[in-house]
Amino acid sequence: MKVAVFSTKPYEEAALLAFNKDFDHELVFFKEPLTKETVSLAAGYPAVCTFVNDSLDAPALKLLAEGGTKLIALRCAGHDSVDLKAASANNITVMRVPAYSPYAIAEFTLGILLAQNRKIPNAWQRVQTGDFHLNGLVGNDFHGKTVGILGTGRIGAAVARIFKLGFQCDVLANDLYPSAEMESIGVRYVDRETIFTKADVISLHCPLTKETKGLINAKTLDMMKPNVYLVNTSRGGLVDTAALADALESGRIRGAALDVYEGERALFFRKLSLDQIDDPLFKRLIKLPNFLLTGHQAFLTQEAIDAIATITLTNISNFSIGKLDKNVAVEKYS
Distance between CA atoms of 191 and 223, rounded to whole angstroms?
13
Which of 75, 96, 205, 296 is an active site residue? 296
293 and 285 Cβ atoms separated by less than 8 Å: yes
In sequence order, the β-bridge partners of residue 148 are 172, 202
To the query of whether residue 264 is one of the catalytic residues in this protein, the response is: yes
First-to-final CA distance of the chain: 33
Please tell me whether residue 229 adopts helix, strand or coil conformation.
Answer: strand
Q: Sign of the CA dihedral 64, 235, 330, 86? A: negative
Q: Which listed residue (235, 262, 265, 303) is catalytic?
A: 235
Closest among 38, 29, 35, 32 to 5, alpha carbons compared? 29
d(CA 328, CA 57): 18
Count Cβ atoms within 10 A of the Cβ of residue 78 and give its class: 0-12 exposed, 13-18 middle, 19 or more buried.
Answer: middle
What's the rounded Cα separation, in Å, for the pair 313 and 309? 6
Closest CA to 298 of 205, 174, 217, 169: 205
Beta carbons within 8 Å of 116's beta carbon, 6+ residues apart: 229, 255, 256, 257, 290, 292
For residue 296, indicate whether it is catalytic.
yes
Q: With contact defined as beta carbons under 8 Å apart, do 87 and 316 qualify? A: no
Catalytic residue among 25, 79, 205, 264: 264
* Cβ–Cβ under 8 Å, residues 284 and 262: no
CA–chain centroid gap for 244, Å, is: 18
Active-site residue flag, 270: no
Distances in Å between the Cα of 262 and the Cα atoms of 244, 295, 334 are 11, 12, 20
Catalytic positions, written as ranges: 235, 264, 296
